[in-house]
Structure 1
Amino acid sequence: MLKVIILISFICVFNLSCSTDFNVTAPWKDITIVYGLLDASDTAQYVKVNKAFLDPTTSALTIAQNPDSLYYADLNVSLEEYQNGNLINTLQLIKVDGNSEGYSKDPGIFSNALNYLYKTTQTLNQNSQYKIIIGNENSSKVVSSITEVINDFRVIRPSVGQPVSLLPGFAFIVDWQSAENGKNYGLTIRFHYTEAQVSNPDAKQDKFIDWIIFTNEVEQTTEGGHEITRTIQSNDFYAKLLNAIPFDGNVIREAGKLDFFFSVGGEELYTFNQVTQAQQGLTSGQIEPQYTNIDNGLGLFSSRFNKAVYGIQIENKTLDSLACGSQTHTLHFKNSAGLTCF
């Protein structure tokens, strides 16, 4: 029996690129692989369209290095916009090379000479549904899927002008209103700081550390407007810094501000991730995908939304604890008065 090797590359809700190989044993047929996450918070939308390939006379590893084996030559890709079931607009996507757009493919057995994506820079309406339509000029086959768009949402805490306290042994609260059409949430806190040599304190280098708080906080409904509250233990902040910043007796550091990055994923993306996690631990190295929401194809078409709160100050007692506390004084941070404790 012949084997079809399918490359699935999808974009995760937390702004990461992932890829999974599936080995599907079946008679030959044209299989279209589609992955796209619409993001109303972004200025451009990208959809990836691949094809399965099969050649009984050529090694699959050889075919994988040929871009023509991965991409269709003549596709028409569009987004139909619907409100209340009525078609109100059609957005035409153009073919671009993802390598030139800042989305390079990870190295591997598949060719990364070209990384074709389909792009639009048209603004998405958060009150609309969008249906992707993929037509092949060389066949009558039409591939499609439809998704809701995740709406913007309000972050209650933190807020600019209210410093955050991260004293050891305590906790701080983050809360926000759930987004309409959003199912699962992620949060990463970015800690900015500067570093300079003790012998040259004016030559400061800007640095930061990303502290991942959670990646899959699930909301029971997708109707939006519900307040969500999460408690974050301050001790984890100090543990993160100790793990991420190397000891160096020749440097002096100064704490900066915090940025809070919220991400939201749609219900289809949540289901996809749940199925993928459930498959982990199976002994078979190559497994067939169990979830797809693509009509006449395989893959995932959903939505996400990213929101950031920038420039949150750290209150002075926390700066003093970071500089002089027993846990982190060896990192040589300045205290709130600009002095060191070493």
Structure 2
Amino acid sequence: MKYLTIFSLLAFITLFSSSCDNDFNINDDWADITVVYGLLDPAADTNWIRVQRAYLGEAAASASYGEPDSVYYDTTAISVYLEAYSRGADGSLGTPVNTIFLKPDFTSRKLDDGIYSTDDFRLYRTTETIEEDKTYKLVVEKSNAKHPEASSITEIVGIQQSSNSGFRFVLPNPNVIAARTFNGNLKWYQSDQAEIYEVDVYFYYKEVNRQTGAVEHLVQKLDYTTIEGAQIPADPFETIDVDGSPNNIYTLLASNLPELKPNTLRFFKSFTVIIWAGGEDLAKYIDLNRPTEGVNNSKPEFPDIENGTGLFSSRTSIMLDEVAMSQQMATTYYLSSTLCEKGFAIVTSGDTCYCERIPGIGPERVCD
């Protein structure tokens, strides 16, 4: 028994020591991997594409944070351009009808200081028109023939080329100023190629100090709603309807507004409503980057960029500003239970009226 114990111990030591002699390399072979982020907008005067590179080294990743050539290509090492195609009847691309070379821009956009180097940061831009009825291919061509070019293709989310004569507001009514009011309900015609819509509502208001009379003009952005997937009607001629209510707005305001300053009243000025329409790959990208629920945390790979990673898609937007509250909402919003402590007021018949919560009674109108 003693000999067996000694033999087992020697065998364990031999096995352990021999395994320590085998180095395990956790790094893969180096490869040139392009990182691309870009959303083409046919309504924009300038379109921007971010082109960088992934890096890999034997040292810790932090050893390369401060090295510009770890994350940025030299401008002589790549050419970045867009090829425009008119798809054939069978959906094929054929040959490009236009090529747009993007210019590196070092000054228009600045990065905040952080752990990564901001030296040599650049974007690639073009001011040429992005045509809504074309398909665009982004190409990042390398001067080193051993490094494969990166590319990606997107359709264009348009405003004018929609099947129903345009991506446009129906409600609020954009054509009649008196009818340009918002009470939570929205309606718009769809955009071709759009697979996701996001609605941003900007709430403009002013704060008045009751003691000094000082006025401050402010704005609060409200992430109003997202429409995607089965929520989008299959018929492109059908409008998208958002059945909201004043309470939706009140709840968003109550949770987003900063704390009310002492001796201050707030007065509503106007809304601005912006509807963003995004392409198919943008919708997929947003969906894949949402928090995973359930036991299975694995996510499918997002195969948007050939020989690279990132996102290349399209988006556009429509905007309606100087939007008023509906008449009923404008005279009662400050008295809602949700907003009573938020300091909103209205001026009526020369009096300033605001809300106070009376114990045992609830929100009450007070005028002085």
Where on the TM-score scale, by shorter chain, does this alignment land: which range?
0.7 to 0.9
Which of residues 28, 33, 51 in structure 1 aligns to 2:30? 28
Q: Which runs of 5+ in 2 are unaligned?
A: 1-23, 88-92, 160-166, 354-365
Query: CA 1:249–1:78 in structure 2 vs 1: closer, same or farther (change >3 Å)?
Result: same
| 2:57 corresponds to 1:62 | no
For residue 131 of structure 2, give the secondary structure of its aligned residue in structure 1: coil
Which of residues 143, 149, 157 in structure 2 aligns to 1:142? 149
Greater CA drift, 207-216 or 104-113: 104-113
Alpha-carbon distance, 1:252 to partner: 2.5
Identify the residue that residue 346 of structure 2 maps to in structure 1: 334
Which of residues 83, 88, 106 in structure 1 aligns to 2:86? 83
Contact 1:159 1:312 in 2 (8 A): no
| 2:140 corresponds to 1:121 | no
Contact 2:233 2:240 in 1 (8 A): no
* CA distance in structure 2 between the partners assigned to 1:280 and 1:206 by the alignment: 41
**Matched residues, number:** 309
Query: CA offsets per residue over residues 260-296 of structure 1, 9 Å max, x none?
Result: 0111111011122222236577898xx8971121122
* CA distance in structure 1 between the partners assigned to 2:64 and 2:260 by the alignment: 48
The structure with more strand, counted as a fraction of residues: 1
* CA distance in structure 2 between the partners assigned to 1:209 and 1:326 by the alignment: 20
Contact 1:194 1:254 in 2 (8 A): yes
* CA distance in structure 1 between the partners assigned to 2:235 and 2:34 by the alignment: 32
Q: Which has the higher contact order (CA 8 A, sep 6+)?
A: 1
Alpha-carbon distance, 1:119 to partner: 0.8
Q: Which runs of 5+ in 1 are unaligned?
A: 4-24, 167-171
**% identical equivalent positions:** 26
Query: CA 1:221–1:156 in structure 2 vs 1: closer, same or farther (change >3 Å)?
Result: closer
Code of the residue aligned with 2:68 in structure 1: it is P
Contact 1:179 1:225 in 2 (8 A): no
Query: CA 1:224–1:148 in structure 2 vs 1: closer, same or farther (change >3 Å)?
Result: farther
Contact 1:179 1:222 in 2 (8 A): no
* CA distance in structure 1 between the partners assigned to 2:348 and 2:258 by the alignment: 20
Query: CA 1:101–1:224 in structure 2 vs 1: closer, same or farther (change >3 Å)?
Result: farther
For residue 289 of structure 2, give the secondary structure of its aligned residue in structure 1: helix
Q: CA RMSD in A?
A: 2.7
Q: TM-score, normalised by structure 2?
A: 0.76
Code of the residue aligned with 1:314 in structure 2: it is M
Query: CA 1:113–1:216 in structure 2 vs 1: closer, same or farther (change >3 Å)?
Result: farther
Query: CA offsets per residue over residues 188-214 of structure 1, 9 Å max, x none?
Result: 11111111211233x421111112111
Contact 1:134 1:144 in 2 (8 A): yes
